[in-house]
């Protein structure tokens, strides 16, 4: 069967027809071309073509044909080559791209460019890979390994299957360790039995090998992974297998949402709350939100799963736009961990550790169990400071201090990744008393190795997991089950299953309590509950100890006493009173340049134009322009202007009219600027 049979509009390729083509360019428009000298009998939407573009040749995609053009036919250039015999993307995928370009106010050509593997972008042939796949009969034979679901899991599964033949969005709010993955797997098995394909997104590359290994134990080998850690060839082979229907399950990070499927049946977004699903540079899309729209286009169900749902998804569920399903019991009779705060006020600390915490670590290790220490800062210390004059080692290209690293000795900026050698004398007063201030995972690792010399200490952060095989080996060592200490950043909080961990310690819970970002407390609550959920997932009860100088803070107490369910509902009430998302809608216009006045002046013009366009009855307002929280990064000065509205439609209608006006401003060519729809990060 043709991959796109009956799905793309057919167009005549008569000599006088005009072909509309998009290419990878920041211009928000298509370009008119004449058919090639020897055109095929039909031109279809979604075919790749090679076209002249200025002095270059580019690979583009046909999005339409017409008998008219805004230009004289004699001015139009001809397509050099039609590369494909059938479209790369079917009509539904093309609708997805057009919606994404419209919603995120981003050039369609660049949206499509981002969605294609490098092999496809370069115009190479769409030859099928030689990957071996397992036939459906063999897969079904493997499905006998399913676990027995508890009553709640069975109810969730039944509720989803009842409405699984067309579009429906389910929010599965299941506490950590409640067996959401087993529910996913049994639902996937049902889709495979029907000959359908499934996309499952996970937030981090580090989780992909673990998830694939888990799924291969159930579904054999007809699974492909798609994420940025693959080579171009591996990525193309996986993409091609999914497109041709040779792979039944696609597991990947956010970019995998653009993978074409021959027989789409289900989309699952695991840990749907995670900020990793939002692209923060270039095409700033939300993979979760695109997945929901894609499921609607394909008329298939989608499941958003999390122990700590985002307030946006929760609001949609409570408003009945989504179906809210709950798992409130841990699977396999595991018990929920107990929470206790360690009040740090007035206590003497040893490299950030209270005596109470060190005693608890010793007790759990004595029982031959594992301990997880959570600290969301890489490196040895976040600051190197002169004890005599107060000078600090700062990045000259950013408004931030260098982080001291000891394992690969250097000072490193975690914003622009610039590096310099460690200095041993203060450049201001020539003193030799340069002190590391604050804690990072390296320093914590060193303290634990000194305090517990006979116990292995595993550090898991960005610096130790750049090599994927090293991460897999580390997790394999941890899961051998011997007494051990795990030290790491939020990477440890994202879905990992460590059955022997019985103590989770949070070194410092205070930063999120006083964030200037209105989402700060939501993010803090999600991270705290997620990392706490690594404790007590096996047969033994878990314990969570939280070090804080604010043990009586109402937000912290609501979280650890009443749980995330009550915490999130309280947060929603506060957002509604303040008319903040999800009860309003935002667009953040960013601008940056090497000269400080340029982005400020550009955004001031943008604000003036925007305010002039707003009527007296409009619910939209502007805030700024203001310097970004980190005003200077990588040598460029950064400013931002916020547009907020009570009406999503009003906000987007306004931007549709004004973005071309913004682009026409002379200053727009002197700054680097972007529009971020539904921003999560204001830094």
Residues 6+ apart with CB under 8 A from 616: none
Run of H or E residues at 624: strand 621-633
Distance of CA 470 to the CA centre of its chain: 22
pLDDT at 9: 52
The per-residue pLDDT for 341 is: 94
The residues that bridge with 282 in the sheet, in sequence order, are none
Burial (0-12, 13-18, 19+ Cβ within 10 Å), 473: exposed
Phi-psi region of 576 (alpha: psi -120 to 50; beta: other; left: phi over 0): alpha
CA–CA separation, 344 and 55 (whole Å): 66
Residue 353 to residue 659: CA distance in whole angstroms: 52
Provide φ and ψ at 29, rounded to 5°: -160, 165
Laid out side by side, the sheet with 338-343 consists of 338-343, 543-548, 501-506, 370-374, 484-488, 457-460
CB of 373 closer than 8 Å to CB of 461: no
Residue with tokens 């850690």: 229
CATH of domain 10-121: 3.40.1440.60
Averages of pLDDT over each 10 residues, the chain, 683 residues: 43 66 94 90 90 94 90 90 93 96 97 95 79 40 68 96 95 92 95 95 81 83 87 93 95 96 97 95 97 97 97 98 93 80 94 95 95 93 94 93 91 92 93 93 95 94 76 82 91 79 91 86 92 82 92 92 94 97 98 97 97 92 95 95 97 96 96 97 88
Block residue for tokens 């305090």: 451
Residues with Cβ < 8 Å from 56, sequence gap 6 or more? Answer: none
Can you tell me the distance from the alpha carbon of 307 to that of 422, in angstroms, rounded to the nearest whole number?
42
All structural domains of the chain with their residue ranges: 10-121, 136-332, 334-377+439-575, 585-677
Query: DSSP characters for 255-283?
Result: GGGG---SSEEEEEEETTT-GGGB--SSS
Q: What does the block give as tokens for 517? A: 């970002």
**C-alpha distance from residue 275 to each of 284, 286, 318 (Å):** 12, 9, 21
Tokens of 279: 């692209």
Query: Which pLDDT score is estimated for 117?
Result: 95
Q: Tell me if the domain spanning 334-377+439-575 has CATH number 3.40.50.970.
A: no
d(CA 605, CA 611): 10
Question: Which 3 state secondary structure label does DSSP give 546?
Answer: strand
Residue 366, H or E segment: helix 355-366
Structure token pair of residue 592: 């940056």
Shortest CA distance to 430 belongs to which of 381, 386, 385, 396?
386
Q: Which CATH number fits domain 585-677: 3.30.70.600, 3.30.1360.80, 3.30.565.10, 3.90.76.10?
A: 3.30.70.600
The distance from CA 143 to its chain's CA centroid, rounded to whole angstroms, is 30
Burial of 281 (C-beta count, 10 Å sphere; 0-12/13-18/19+): exposed
How confident is the model at residue 141, as a pLDDT?
A: 42
Closest listed residue to residue 437, CA positions, set 399, 376, 487, 391 = 391
**Interatomic CA distance for residues 615 and 613, integer angstroms:** 7
State the pTM of this model: 0.91
pLDDT of amino acid 601:
97
The answer to whether the 136-332 and 585-677 domains have the same CATH topology is no
pLDDT of residue 13: 47
Class of domain 136-332: alpha beta
What size, in residues, is the chain?
Answer: 683
Angle between helix 597-613 and helix 648-664 axes, rounded to 10 deg: 130
DSSP state of 570: H
Are 312 and 321 within 8 A, CB to CB? no
Please report where in the chains the tokens 């002169």 appear, as a residue.
386
């Amino acid at each position: 069967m043709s991959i796109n049979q009956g799905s793309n509009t057919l167009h005549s390729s008569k000599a006088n027809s005009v072909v509309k083509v998009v290419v990878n360019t920041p211009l928000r428009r298509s370009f008119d071309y004449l058919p090639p000298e020897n055109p095929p009998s039909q031109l279809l939407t979604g075919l790749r073509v090679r076209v002249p573009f200025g002095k270059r040749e580019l690979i583009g995609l046909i999005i339409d044909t017409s008998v008219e053009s805004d230009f004289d036919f004699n001015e139009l250039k001809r397509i050099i080559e039609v590369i494909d015999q059938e479209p790369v993307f079917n009509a539904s995928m093309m609708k997805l791209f057009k919606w994404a370009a419209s919603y995120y106010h981003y050039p369609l050509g660049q949206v499509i460019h981002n969605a294609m593997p490098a092999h496809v972008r370069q115009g190479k042939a769409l030859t099928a890979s030689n990957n071996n796949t397992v036939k459906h009969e063999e897969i079904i034979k493997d499905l006998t390994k399913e676990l027995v679901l508890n009553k709640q899991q069975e109810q969730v599964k039944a509720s989803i299957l009842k409405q699984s033949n067309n579009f429906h969005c389910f929010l599965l709010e299941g506490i950590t360790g409640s067996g959401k993955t087993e529910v996913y797997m049994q639902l996937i098995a049902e889709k495979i039995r029907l000959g359908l394909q499934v996309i499952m997104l996970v937030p981090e590359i580090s989780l992909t090998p673990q998830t694939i290994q888990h799924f291969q134990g159930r579904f054999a080998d007809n699974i492909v992974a798609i994420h940025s850690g693959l080579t171009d060839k591996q990525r193309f082979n996986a993409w091609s297998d999914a497109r041709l229907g040779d792979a039944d399950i696609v597991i990947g990070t956010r970019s995998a949402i653009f993978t074409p499927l021959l027989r789409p049946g289900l989309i699952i977004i695991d840990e749907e709350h995670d900020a990793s699903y939002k692209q923060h540079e270039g095409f700033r899309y939300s993979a979760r939100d695109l997945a929901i729209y894609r499921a609607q286009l394909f008329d298939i169900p989608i499941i958003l799963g999390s122990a700590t749902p985002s307030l946006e998804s929760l609001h949609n569920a409570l408003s009945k736009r989504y179906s809210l399903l709950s798992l409130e019991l841990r699977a396999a009779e595991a018990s929920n961990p107990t929470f206790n705060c360690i009040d740090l006020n007035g206590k003497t600390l040893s490299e950030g550790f209270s005596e109470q915490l060190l005693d608890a670590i010793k007790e759990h290790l004595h029982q031959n169990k594992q301990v997880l220490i959570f600290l969301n800062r890489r490196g040895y210390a976040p600051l190197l400071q002169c004890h005599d004059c107060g000078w600090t080692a700062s990045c000259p290209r950013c408004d931030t201090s260098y982080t001291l690293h000891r394992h690969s000795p250097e000072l490193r900026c975690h914003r622009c990744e610039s590096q310099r050698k460690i200095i041993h004398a203060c450049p201001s007063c020539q003193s030799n008393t340069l002190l590391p201030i604050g804690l990072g995972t390296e320093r914590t690792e060193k303290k634990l190795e000194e305090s517990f010399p006979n116990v292995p200490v595993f550090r898991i952060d960005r610096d130790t997991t750049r090599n994927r095989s090293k991460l897999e080996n580390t997790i394999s060592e941890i899961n051998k089950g011997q007494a051990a200490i795990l030290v790491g950043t939020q990477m440890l909080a994202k879905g990992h299953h460590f059955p022997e961990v019985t103590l989770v310690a949070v070194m410092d819970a205070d930063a999120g309590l006083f964030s200037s970002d209105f989402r700060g407390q939501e993010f803090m609550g999600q991270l705290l509950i997620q990392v706490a959920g690594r404790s007590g997932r096996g047969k033994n009860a878990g314990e969570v100890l939280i070090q804080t100088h604010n043990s009586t803070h109402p937000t912290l107490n609501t979280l650890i006493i009443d749980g995330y369910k009550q915490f999130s509902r309280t947060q929603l009430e506060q957002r509604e009173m303040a008319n903040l998302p999800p009860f309003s809608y935002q667009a953040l216009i960013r601008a940056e340049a090497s000269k400080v006045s340029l982005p400020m002046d550009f955004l001031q013009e943008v604000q003036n134009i925007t305010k002039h366009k707003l009527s007296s009855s409009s619910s939209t307002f502007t805030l700024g322009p203001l310097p970004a929280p980190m005003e200077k990064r990588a040598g460029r000065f950064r400013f931002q202007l916020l547009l907020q509205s009570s009406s999503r439609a009003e906000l987007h209608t306004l931007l549709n009219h004004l973005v071309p006006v913004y682009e026409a401003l002379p200053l727009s060519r002197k700054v680097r600027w972007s529009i971020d729809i539904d921003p999560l990060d204001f830094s």
